[in-house]
Amino acid sequence: MISRIIFALVTLAAFGLAYKQYRRIWRTIKLGKFVAVTGDKGRRWRNVALIAFGQKKMFKKWIPGLFHFFIYSAFLITQIELLETFVDGLAGTHRAFAGALGGFYTFVISLIEILSVLAFVATFVFLARRNLLKVPRFQKPEMNGWPKLDGNIILYLEAILVIGIMMMNGADMVLQARGAAHHTGHFAVTSWLGPMLFGGLSNPALEVVGRTGWWLHFLVVMGFLNYLPISKHLHIFLAFPNVYFSRLVPKGKIYNMPEVTREVKIMLGQIQPGPDDNMDDLPEFGAKDIFQLTRINLLNAFTCTECGRCTASCPANITGKKLSPRKIMMDVRDRAEEVGRKLESNNPDFIAPDKRAGGVRLSPENFDDGASLFDRISAEEIYACTTCNACVEACPVNINPVEIIVALRRYDILTRSQGPSDWLPMFNAIENSGAVWQMNVDRENWIKS
């Protein structure tokens, strides 16, 4: 009875804390601009099935893709055993599904064990790639400190999870062989691994090993649930909605700005200005901070796996330039988390000076901490991008750093009147002659000749 109470309390505490953390992430993503999602829903669901669920783009690099599949498939199928853990923990039973499923239960647990062994091997392969082989895309400057530690921690937790499963099942196999537990059939791995590791233990000691493995498995899963919101492995959940909401139009298409389109049409006389069109009070273009980005952009940032395939494919980065698409996404996520924390604080110091009158409370509409994305992302980075979309093509979960880079560029050029000095002749030529080249004749003269 005490065990069941402890289990229930731990479960409630873990899910309560997780709910607060995931709710905070959802609130932070909602700080971005709402955009209507249109397009073929069937195609969106096919993308989810092939890219998010089927891991299609992971296999462009087939060796890490294969090992990642081992961990991914083990994670999916192990949820069956986790569900049984909840039933056993709350009801005080042991292997509650075994009686109802019979031989199929033996098959499922055996499959879990095989995949767990493969995942265990994959875990150490990935640890070696990160720490011994030092794969170049994991050694970039943005991966120093917490990102590197985070990648290792999650792999350690996966190894501990597999150990817990093997302890639980292995001890059970020995007890069943001695007739001290309900027989559930011979599991593929622990039917021989259990006797090899625990065959010399007494029955009471085996029960301790089995329960220790059971609790270890459960507690690691609960810890994992609460670790994800502060980890790059949040993509385990967010990859599915992120792929669903990803663009269906060609990758190279850059969206026009409605404000600019309207101003140009007014300038060309195609439409007449309305009462709200003040040519001396132009809107802000592009994005200065997370509030001007879309919710899909922020979802992209929180979905980023930090795998670095985007940066490894970026021609600017390959040729030694400062741009790293992965860093762009990490910077956006870090800034979004920073803004979210400050909004939660309700500190009036973060209210814009011109909006502090009347005891107004801090909100996204009046927030101003004096910082922006430009404090994290330099002009050198955003202007190094060629908008080739190699990063978008490489991303396993359809993240789009180019949209964010273009939005930052637009703000820098159109609102701040900044930009590389080398680009100024092009801007002047477009303004004066309607072409990117400096021309001393009417651009359309060739039509008349």
CATH code of the domain covering residue 397: 1.10.1060
Tell me the whole-structure pTM to 2 decimals.
0.91
Least confident span in 16-20, 284-288, 435-439: 435-439
Query: Both 237 and 341 in a single domain?
Result: no
Per-residue pLDDT of 152-184, as tens digits, reads 999 999 999 999 999 999 999 999 888 877 778
Q: Which tokens go with 110?
A: 């055996």
Query: Both 373 and 431 in a single domain?
Result: no
Rounded Cα distance, 211 and 361, in Å: 51
pLDDT of residue 443: 67
For 105, the domain range is 2-30+61-244
The 10 Å CB-count burial string (b at 16+, else e) for 352-374 is eeeeeeeeeebeeebbeeeebbb
Query: Both 169 and 288 in a single domain?
Result: no
What rounded mean pLDDT belongs to the chain? 91
pLDDT of residue 258: 82
pLDDT of residue 282: 67
Which one-letter amino acid corresponds to residue 232?
K
pLDDT of residue 276: 67
Rounded Cα distance, 143 and 121, in Å: 24
Inform me whether the pLDDT recorded for 2 exceeds 80: yes
Rounded Cα distance, 440 and 432, in Å: 10
The stretches of 354-416 forming alpha helices (DSSP H) are 379-384, 390-394, 401-410
For the chain, percent of residues with pLDDT exceeding 90: 71
Which residues share a beta bridge with 294? 33
pLDDT of residue 274: 74
Q: Which tokens go with 445?
A: 């003269």
pLDDT of residue 355: 86
The structural domain count of the chain equals: 3
pLDDT of residue 256: 86
Query: Both 169 and 105 in a single domain?
Result: yes
pLDDT of residue 405: 97
Rounded Cα distance, 68 and 277, in Å: 54
Per-residue pLDDT of 419-447, as tens digits, reads 888 888 888 887 777 777 777 777 677 67
CB 184 within 8 Å of CB 99? no
Query: Both 180 and 226 in a single domain?
Result: yes
Instruction: Report the pLDDT averaged over residues 313-329.
Output: 96
Inform me whether the pLDDT recorded for 279 exceeds 70: no
Per-residue pLDDT of 220-257, as tens digits, reads 999 999 999 999 999 999 999 999 999 999 988 888 88
Rounded Cα distance, 63 and 381, in Å: 31
User: Is 53 part of a structural domain of the chain?
Assistant: no
Query: Both 67 and 81 in a single domain?
Result: yes
* Residue 320 backbone zone (phi > 0: left; psi -120 to 50: alpha; other: beta): left
User: Is 41 part of a structural domain of the chain?
Assistant: no
Query: Both 413 and 330 in a single domain?
Result: yes
pLDDT of residue 255: 86
Is residue 393 classed exposed, middle or buried when 0-12, 13-18 and 19+ CB atoms within 10 A define those classes?
A: middle
pLDDT of residue 446: 65
Q: Strand, coil or helix: what is 186?
A: coil
Query: Both 381 and 439 in a single domain?
Result: no
pLDDT of residue 356: 83
Q: Chain-centre distance of CA 175, in angstroms?
A: 43
Which of the 8 DSSP states describes residue 61? S
Rounded Cα distance, 135 and 143, in Å: 12
pLDDT of residue 449: 60
Contacts of 333 (CB under 8 A, 6+ apart): 298, 301, 302, 304
